[in-house]
Structure formats: structure tokens, C-alpha cells
């Protein structure tokens, strides 16, 4: 019964979305009443999809295997958390989650958007409803999550063991919140193109939504990367896999959008480009979610093995993305550019940022799709893997990182580059000094490592230098400096923290790539091995039962170089229902570095043990956390709180730096 209610709720939401989309786009210009109806419709869509989603969760939690989805992806012995996360560990369920987040964002716009002009609000909500109708229809007609099984099996087929992890509970919702959040930017862009009106108030509206989505996406990608790192069992954290690239491209485009929306909000320039980026960012998000499921990217491992479903997805993508770009091509010329500035200025620096980020998006996109296209054209099949991306992406990021610290120190309109360079002198000198010191101490090093270190330090110290400069630290009494720093707008802190985070991530990437050490050996209980000064003793080996798996468990004791011991436990698991094995690596964190230990397969009478020492690897994710934290900080800035229409209406020139 609950399942049918859920099914009905989803159908109803689809119907409301369809009516909202048609109504909002047909009756223009919309008045207060239509905007109100569409707002109510948006909230209603959210409530209905939430009911549908709750029905699915209920079926999974109560192990109702008459629901085909639960029978295929759940198991009565699975821990509760994994029963719930199993709802979105498959194609159909993840579609419902995707739509839930989509309509949630629509409802948020309806809730916060009272101050928007009714015509703009109606257009945004209509576009948002159009998306909900399109993807809701796709779910209902080609991948119905509410299909029943008769007769119901007694036990479910279990979820892929690899997905039975807290990672699945956190990673997809975060990632989807990021992807789908960009739909708001998309809807605003489409609304601006249709109405032909776009001003700074528009940018003031779009930027917080971009910031929110970007923050979620940053967390989602970082979380996914850490999940892959600890679960896959060999300590890799980024693979340039097509699916990873698909999540990385919207992030890059979203980062560019954040910066271009800033120029538009403050200086009323880059309008057309910002609109273009809004469309591109969400289009890449759609590619990220759906290209993988269409069956053209990865033929073996996709959810959507049904070729008709793949065709529907591709058609849908072509219509949404193509339609938006057609609209852009038709209407963009009606938007007037404004806000003049000299090449050397904050605007100029932000344009350079956009140039490199957009090029990086393009390069990653070409790298990801090139093998497909070449294959389709009847050419040879080639692989485009990590070596290609590292080179191309690295070459584009290096100049970006080099100019990054200058940006926040430049004034709007016309800036003094020599002055900015002077203020960065200390940061640069310190970065060079530390790099030379580490490179000379580090001994064996990869040729590019010093360059990477230099860039990482430069960006991190540059961010600090900006704060020091703004607080006039050392030039005025300390107490006065502190007062100034505390009084800085949160957005200034946010910029510094985010840029510092990038530097930290770069340092982590460089350090762990250049100085990681590895030991592959065979050990018996009672024996020990040594790596980078750590002594790892293999104590015992035993078989232990888990809730829905059997585990072979190895207990180790690690003695750190500075003394002190820690117990570590690594496992190999065999899951009962599927017979699939997984490895649970043992990870121990020392400062920012980690010791990563994996219990391998038995070899003759001994056990293969792989141990990695990964210096400063946690910096990679700490940097990402700093970036996400900076996003939150910026969102908490009262000056750009979501839906602060009064601030938008004022025409107060920004104070110069």
C-alpha cells in the first residue's frame, strides 16, 4: 500500500511539474498570482517526491521484497544504515534521490524568492519544473522504482558489497546536491534569456546558489575521493576515470562561475559569459549524472543496460542542453555589456581565472570523450588515461596557481600590479626558501615535485599575505590589526580560506606523489616488516563472522619512528549473498601523513601484506574541507545572504580596496 502511495505521489508530482512548466512559460509576463501558484506548485512537488522517497526507504528498511528494487538491492541481514543508503545505490533509486534534490531546490527558490520580480520568479520556477517533469517522466516511464515482484522472494539479492559503506550514505547525496544545485543557476540563466533582463540583482541572486552547490560538490568529490582511497585497497585517490572526470568538470565550471558571477555582481560586467557558464555548468552536471548511465561511456558497468533507456537519456540531454544553448544563441546578443575596466585589475585577474578554468574543462572534456569519438569514427581504439590528464591539466593549472595570489590584492577597475607584487614579496620568498629546503632534504625526488611544492606554498602563503595586508599586521599596533581582521567582511575571509585550501591540497598532492614509499612482502603471524622508519608487526590472523559476511582478519602492531605503538586491523571480507570479496585496509594517521596497510591474498603458507607510507596525504582532503568551509563562511555573510533583495536594490558603489 505504502509503495502504491509513493508511486502515486511521484506521478502526481510529475503532473504538477508538467502543468507548472507549461503554465509558467505560456502565460507571460507572469503576474503576482501566477508566481504564487508556481511557488505553491514547487513546494507541493517537493512534498510529493519526499513522500515517494519515504515510501522507498520504508520498503528497504522493512525488507519488503515484493518491491523489485528492494529485492534486487537489499538483504534482510544488512545493517540499517546500508538498507537506507541502498535506496540510492542503484539506478532507479538514485533517480528518485536526484529528483528529490531538484524539487527541493525549486521549493527553496519558492520559499526565499518572495522578493524577486514575479515574472523572473515565475520563469525560474517554470524552468525548474520543466526539468522536474523531464526527469520525473524519464524515471516513471523507463526506470520505475516502484515496480512490484510477484511472487515476492524470501530474501533479497543484496547490495554490491563495495557499496555497503558509510561512503554510500554520504557521498551521493552530497554530490547530487552539488550537481542539482546548479540547476538553479541554469533556471535563472534561462529565465534571464527569455525575459531579456539581466542586472546586478540577478547576479546577487545567482551567486549564493552557485556557492551553495559548489560547496556541496566540493564536499561530495572530496568525500568520494577519500572513499575510493580507503575502500579500493591500494591507496589511489584520483584516477581520471570518466566518471570522476564527469564530476570534476562541473566543479571546474562551477568554480569559474563563482568568480565570473562575482565580477557581474560587483561590476556589472561579463554578463553574457556568466549566463553561458551557468548553462554549461548544469549541462556538465547532467552529463556527469547521465552520460554514464546512457551506456555509451562504459558499456560493461553501467546501470542502464537497457538500450532504449540510454537512447531516452541521450535525447533528453540533447533537448535540455541543446535547447538552452539555442536560446542562448538567439537571445544573448540582446544582453548589453557594461562595467568598463583596465586589463590589469581585479576583473582582469578573474577573467584570467575563467580562461584557465574553462580551458581545463574543455581539455578534460576532450580527453574524456575523445576515445569514444575516435572509436565511433571507425578509427583505432585508444586509451586516454592518467598520464595524459596529469600533463594537460597540470600544465593549465600551473599558470593559474601562479597568478592566483595576485587576484585578491588587485583593485577593481584599475590596479597597481607592482604594488600587489610588493605585498606578495614575503610570501614568494618564504615559498622559494621552503621549497629549496625541502627539495634538498628530500633527496630522491621527481623532477616536477619542487615546482609543485613552490606553487602550493606560494598559493597558501599568498592567501595569508592578503590577510596580513588587509589587517596591516606589523604596520599598526597588534590590537588594532586584530580588530581590523575580525572586522573584515566574511567574504574576504572566505576568499583567503578557499585559496589557502587550494594551496594545502596542492602540497598534499605533490608530497604524496613524490615521496610515497611502498612495501610489498609476505608475512606470517609473529613476523614484522619495516617501512620509512615504521615497524609493522603481524600479530595474529583469524576468521571472524560479520553480519552478512565472513572476514579474514589480520592484527598488526605499528611502532612509529618516534616510539609509541598502535594496533591496526586489516580485513578481507567475503559477502554471503553475492560471494564477492572486498578488502578493508587499515589506515593509521600520523600528523598529516598516513600509514596504509592492506592484507592481501594468502600466498603458499604466508600472507601477502602491502604497506604504503603516504606523506602529507590528508592535506589533499583537508584543503578540500577548507574550500568547502570557505563556501559556508561566504554564505553566512549577511551581505550576500540568499534572497536579500533589499541589498540588491541599492546602487551603492563598492568601496575601493
The interface with another protein within residues 336-355 (CB under 8 A) comprises: 336-338, 340, 343, 351, 355
The nearest distance, CB 483 to another protein, in angstroms, is 32
User: In whole angstroms, what is the distance from residue 632 CA to residue 620 CA?
Assistant: 19
Q: Does residue 239 interact with another protein by CB under 8 A? A: yes
Which of 80, 150, 154, 300 is in the footprint of another protein by CB under 8 A?
A: 300
User: In whole angstroms, what is the distance from residue 466 CA to residue 420 CA?
Assistant: 9
Is 25 or 580 the residue whose CB approaches another protein more closely? 580
User: In whole angstroms, what is the distance from residue 415 CA to residue 407 CA?
Assistant: 10
User: In whole angstroms, what is the distance from residue 626 CA to residue 497 CA?
Assistant: 6
The nearest distance, CB 354 to another protein, in angstroms, is 9
**How would you classify residue 535: left for phi > 0, otherwise alpha for psi between -120 and 50, otherwise beta?**
beta
Which of 62, 66, 298, 569 is in the footprint of another protein by CB under 8 A?
A: 298
Which of 305, 318, 329, 370 is in the footprint of another protein by CB under 8 A?
A: 370
Stretch 516-575 residues interacting with another protein (CB under 8 A)? 520-522
User: In whole angstroms, what is the distance from residue 412 CA to residue 344 CA?
Assistant: 9
The nearest distance, CB 175 to another protein, in angstroms, is 6
The nearest distance, CB 237 to another protein, in angstroms, is 11
User: In whole angstroms, what is the distance from residue 206 CA to residue 184 CA?
Assistant: 8
Stretch 82-101 residues interacting with another protein (CB under 8 A)? 94
Stretch 413-472 residues interacting with another protein (CB under 8 A)? none
Q: Does residue 244 interact with another protein by CB under 8 A? A: yes
Is 7 or 607 the residue whose CB approaches another protein more closely? 607
Stretch that binds another protein, among 219-227, 466-474, 483-491, 614-622 (CB under 8 A): 219-227
DSSP 565-613: EEEEEEEEEEETTT--EEEE-EEEEETTEEEEEEEEEEETTEEEEEEEE
Is 539 or 606 the residue whose CB approaches another protein more closely? 606
Half-sphere exposure of 174 (CA within 13 A, CB side): 21
DSSP 331-352: HGGGSPP-----SSSHHHHHHH
The dihedrals phi and psi of 530, each to the nearest 5 degrees, come to: -130, 140
How many of the other CB atoms lie within 10 Å of CB of 504? 26
Q: Give the x/- contact pattern for another protein in 260-289, rule: CB under 8 A.
A: --------x---------------------
Stretch 304-343 residues interacting with another protein (CB under 8 A)? 336-338, 340, 343
Stretch 168-187 residues interacting with another protein (CB under 8 A)? 168, 171-172, 175
Is 357 or 465 the residue whose CB approaches another protein more closely? 357
- What are the cell numbers at 568? 591496526
Q: Does residue 79 interact with another protein by CB under 8 A? A: no
- What are the cell numbers at 470? 588587509
Q: Does residue 236 interact with another protein by CB under 8 A? A: yes
User: In whole angstroms, what is the distance from residue 616 CA to residue 132 CA?
Assistant: 43
Kindly list the strands in the beta sheet with 581-584, ordered across the sheet, starting from the edge strand earlier in the chain: 528-531, 534-545, 549-559, 565-575, 581-584
Burial of 282 (0-12, 13-18, 19+ CB in 10 A): buried
Which of 45, 215, 247, 283 is in the footprint of another protein by CB under 8 A?
A: 247
- Under a CB-based contact definition with an 8 Å cutoff, are residues 132 and 180 in contact? no
Per-residue burial over 302-317, b if 16 or more Cβ lie within 10 Å, else e, is: bebeeeebbebbeebb
End-to-end distance of the chain based on CA atoms, in angstroms? Answer: 63
Stretch 597-616 residues interacting with another protein (CB under 8 A)? 598, 600-603, 608, 610
Is 308 or 383 the residue whose CB approaches another protein more closely? 383
Is 400 or 467 the residue whose CB approaches another protein more closely? 400
The nearest distance, CB 501 to another protein, in angstroms, is 19
Is 319 or 340 the residue whose CB approaches another protein more closely? 340
Stretch that binds another protein, among 101-109, 319-327, 384-392, 614-622 (CB under 8 A): 384-392
Is 428 or 576 the residue whose CB approaches another protein more closely? 576
Residues 6+ apart with CB under 8 A from 17: 41, 45, 103, 129, 130, 132, 133, 136
Strands 581-584 and 528-531: unpaired
- What are the cell numbers at 191? 529565465
Is 167 or 554 the residue whose CB approaches another protein more closely? 167
Stretch 9-48 residues interacting with another protein (CB under 8 A)? none
Give the binding-site size for another protein (rule: CB under 8 A): 81
Stretch that binds another protein, among 19-27, 73-81, 222-230, 557-565 (CB under 8 A): 222-230
The nearest distance, CB 474 to another protein, in angstroms, is 38
Amino acid at each position: 500500500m505504502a509503495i502504491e502511495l509513493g508511486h502515486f505521489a511521484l506521478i502526481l508530482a510529475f503532473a504538477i511539474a508538467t502543468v507548472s512548466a507549461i503554465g509558467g512559460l505560456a502565460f507571460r509576463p507572469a503576474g503576482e498570482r501566477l508566481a504564487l501558484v508556481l511557488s505553491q506548485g514547487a513546494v507541493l512537488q517537493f512534498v510529493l517526491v519526499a513522500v515517494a522517497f519515504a515510501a522507498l526507504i520504508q520498503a528497504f528498511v522493512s525488507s519488503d521484497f515484493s518491491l523489485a528494487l528492494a529485492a534486487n538491492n537489499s538483504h534482510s541481514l544488512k545493517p540499517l544504515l546500508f538498507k537506507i543508503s541502498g535506496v540510492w545505490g542503484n539506478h532507479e533509486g538514485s533517480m528518485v534521490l536526484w529528483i528529490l534534490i531538484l524539487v527541493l531546490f525549486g521549493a527553496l527558490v519558492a520559499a526565499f524568492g518572495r522578493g524577486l520580480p514575479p515574472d523572473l520568479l515565475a520563469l525560474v520556477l517554470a524552468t525548474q519544473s520543466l526539468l522536474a517533469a523531464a526527469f520525473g517522466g524519464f524515471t516513471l516511464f523507463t526506470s520505475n522504482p516502484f515496480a512490484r515482484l510477484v511472487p515476492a522472494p524470501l530474501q533479497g539479492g543484496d547490495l554490491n558489497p563495495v557499496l555497503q559503506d558509510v561512503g554510500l550514505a554520504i557521498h551521493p547525496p552530497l554530490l547530487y546536491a552539488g550537481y542539482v544545485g546548479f540547476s538553479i543557476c541554469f533556471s535563472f540563466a534561462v529565465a534571464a534569456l527569455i525575459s531579456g533582463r539581466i542586472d546586478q540583482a540577478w547576479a546577487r541572486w545567482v551567486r549564493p546558489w552557485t556557492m551553495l552547490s559548489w560547496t556541496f560538490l566540493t564536499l561530495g568529490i572530496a568525500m568520494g575521493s577519500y572513499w575510493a582511497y580507503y575502500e579500493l585497497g591500494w591507496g589511489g585517490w584520483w584516477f581520471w576515470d570518466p566518471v570522476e572526470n564527469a564530476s570534476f568538470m562541473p566543479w571546474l565550471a562551477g568554480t569559474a562561475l563563482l568568480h565570473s558571477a562575482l565580477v557581474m555582481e560587483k561590476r556589472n560586467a561579463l554578463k553574457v559569459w556568466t549566463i553561458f557558464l551557468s548553462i554549461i555548468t548544469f549541462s556538465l552536471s547532467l552529463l556527469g549524472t547521465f552520460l554514464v548511465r546512457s551506456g555509451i561511456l562504459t558499456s560493461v558497468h553501467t546501470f542502464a543496460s537497457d538500450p532504449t533507456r540510454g537512447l531516452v537519456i541521450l535525447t533528453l540531454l540533447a533537448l535540455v542542453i541543446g535547447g538552452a544553448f539555442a536560446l542562448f544563441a538567439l537571445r544573448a546578443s540582446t544582453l548589453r555589456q557594461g562595467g568598463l575596466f583596465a586589463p590589469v585589475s581585479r576583473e582582469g585577474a578573474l577573467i584570467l581565472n575563467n580562461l584557465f578554468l574553462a580551458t581545463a574543462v574543455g581539455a578534460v572534456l576532450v580527453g574524456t570523450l575523445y576515445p569514444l569519438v575516435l572509436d565511433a569514427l571507425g578509427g583505432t581504439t585508444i586509451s586516454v588515461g592518467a598520464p595524459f590528464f596529469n600533463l594537460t591539466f597540470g600544465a593549465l593549472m600551473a599558470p593559474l596557481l601562479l597568478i592566483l595570489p595576485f587576484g585578491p590584492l588587485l583593485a577593481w577597475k584599475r590596479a597597481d600590479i607592482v604594488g600587489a607584487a610588493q605585498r606578495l614579496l614575503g610570501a614568494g620568498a618564504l615559498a622559494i626558501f621552503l621549497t629549496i629546503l625541502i627539495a634538498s632534504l628530500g633527496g630522491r625526488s621527481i623532477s616536477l615535485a619542487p615546482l609543485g611544492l613552490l606553487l602550493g606554498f606560494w598559493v597558501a602563503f599568498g592567501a595569508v599575505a592578503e590577510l596580513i595586508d588587509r589587517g596591516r599586521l606589523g604596520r599598526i599596533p597588534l590590537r588594532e590589526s586584530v580588530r581590523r581582521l575580525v572586522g573584515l567582511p566574511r567574504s574576504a575571509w572566505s576568499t583567503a580560506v578557499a585559496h589557502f585550501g587550494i594551496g594545502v591540497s596542492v602540497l598534499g598532492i605533490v608530497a604524496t606523489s613524490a615521496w610515497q614509499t611502498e612495501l610489498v612482502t609476505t608475512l606470517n603471524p609473529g613476523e614484522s616488516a619495516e617501512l620509512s622508519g615504521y615497524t609493522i608487526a603481524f600479530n595474529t590472523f583469524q576468521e571472524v563472522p560479520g553480519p552478512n559476511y565472513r572476514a579474514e582478519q589480520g592484527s598488526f602492531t605499528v611502532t612509529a619512528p618516534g616510539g609509541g605503538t598502535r594496533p591496526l586491523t586489516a580485513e578481507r571480507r567475503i559477502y554471503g549473498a553475492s560471494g564477492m570479496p572486498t578488502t578493508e585496509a587499515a589506515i593509521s594517521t600520523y600528523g598529516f601523513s598516513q600509514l596504509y596497510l592492506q592484507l592481501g591474498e594468502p600466498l603458499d603458507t604466508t600472507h601477502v601484506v602491502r604497506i604504503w607510507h603516504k606523506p602529507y596525504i590528508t592535506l589533499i582532503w583537508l584543503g578540500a574541507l577548507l574550500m568547502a568551509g570557505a563556501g559556508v563562511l561566504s554564505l553566512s555573510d549577511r551581505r550576500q545572504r540568499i534572497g536579500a533583495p533589499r541589498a540588491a536594490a541599492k546602487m551603492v558603489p563598492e568601496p575601493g580596496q
